[in-house]
Amino acid sequence: MTAGPSPDLPSRPLDPFGARLRRAMDERGPLCVGIDPHASLLADWGLNDDVAGLARFTRTVVEALGEHVAVFKPQSAFFERFGSRGLAVLETAVVEARERGALVVMDAKRGDIGSTMAAYAETYLRPDSPLFSDALTVSPYLGYGSLKPAADLARESGAGLFVLALTSNPEGAEVQRAVREDGRTLAATMLGHLAAENAGAEPLGSFGAVVGATLGDLSTFDLAINGPLLAPGIGAQGATPADLPTVFGPAAENVLPSVSRGVLKHGPDAAGLRAAADRFTEEVRTALDQAP
């Protein structure tokens, strides 16, 4: 996993991301596994903090879980830090994960305006791009309208977006829970935009929100956006699958919990990785069956 491929254009248009995600979650279980090759995690696996270690780590995760889990979420920053060689590893990982039937959510949190946002969208959401992913995380805090180039290309390509709305980091509250002149918080405003994007979509819209699983009761927010809710924070950050019904309430059926270190710490043994992913998947299924 050291050289990026040159993917061909799909032979037919993709189904909308929301429909493909619903199908993957139903068939493989509602779990997203992050691919976060921290330097400390590479060391724990007995790997060097270099491109060879990065490639070995990433290949192991994709080969162990690519036919097993619904979604991978590679964190782009941990590949970018190695420059073009790291990005080549990421390109290969994305293609090989998708070849194994897993969906890929690129965790790049891009956000800009105009032609720059359009260029970010083309990087991750254009089907002939080496980094084409099923969905992309984006930041709306230059105004939701700044995301229009990404939203337009996502619709055209059958991809999706996950918009930062209520993130799990404590610092996020000072922006996301700030109150506008109309009395709504910024987070509620973003959720409202997403609900409008997903109106009428079946079985699930393609425009999701990032909502932290560590945030406790969110009943004051309308999470019923008819789209997926990407929920980081399970595992090392302190949240458990049993917390999901409390946090997400009636919207829990559309939650995609994301686990990184909680699974990755069980590598490099492939069986250990699969067992950890299976355990989280079953715990999530059990918790969501109890949701209101």
Per-residue pLDDT for 156 more than 50?
yes
Please identify which of the residues 73, 109, 148, 265 carries the catalytic annotation. 109
When pLDDT is cut at 50, 70 and 90, the band that residue 13 belongs to is confident
Q: For 237-268, what is each residue's pLDDT tens digit?
A: 788 999 999 999 999 999 999 999 999 999 99
Known catalytic residue: 148?
no
Per-residue pLDDT for 9 more than 60?
no
Strand partners, 274: none
CA dist list (Å): 51 to 1, 38, 141, 244: 10, 12, 33, 36
Domain-by-domain residue ranges, the chain? 17-289
Q: Would you identify the CATH topology of the domain 17-289?
A: TIM Barrel (3.20.20)
Per-residue pLDDT for 4 more than 70?
no
Per-residue pLDDT for 159 more than 90?
yes
Q: Is the pTM value of this prediction over 0.85?
A: yes
The conformational region for residue 241 under phi > 0 = left, psi -120 to 50 = alpha, else beta, is alpha
CB 138 within 8 A of CB 190: no
Q: For 166-219, what is each residue's pLDDT tens digit?
A: 999 999 999 999 999 999 999 999 999 999 999 999 999 999 999 999 999 999
CA dist list (Å): 42 to 85, 106, 107, 270: 17, 20, 19, 15
